[in-house]
Amino acid sequence: MDGATHPPSRVCDSAAGACFFYIHARKIKKARRSGDWNAVFAGAALFGTDFLFETINAWIFHFTGRSALWTTAGDTALRTLVG
């Protein structure tokens, strides 16, 4: 892969996302059989909390035009997030 076309952080993010969805698909399949949805709800709660915090961070950054609650200086693998 060409680093200019596909930065390593994006490739790594894609692989992490694929692993995340694979694991949760297995957990959902297991929960359907056993009726125990605790792991699925815990994953959804964690994702929802992170989504809420990142959304608040984005709104602060948008309206103030300055640094948001948490940011990084320079290049970062978390470029898809505001911070």
Which residues are CB-neighbours of 57 under 8 A, at least 6 positions away?
68, 69, 70, 81, 82, 83
Residue 33 has pLDDT above 90, yes or no: yes
Phi-psi region of 35 (alpha: psi -120 to 50; beta: other; left: phi over 0): left
pLDDT given at position 83: 45
Neighbouring C-alpha atoms within 13 Å toward the C-beta of 71: 12
User: What confidence score (pLDDT) does residue 55 get?
Assistant: 87
- Using CA atoms, how far residue 39 sits from 18, 30, 46, in Å, is 18, 10, 11
- The pTM for the full model equals 0.55
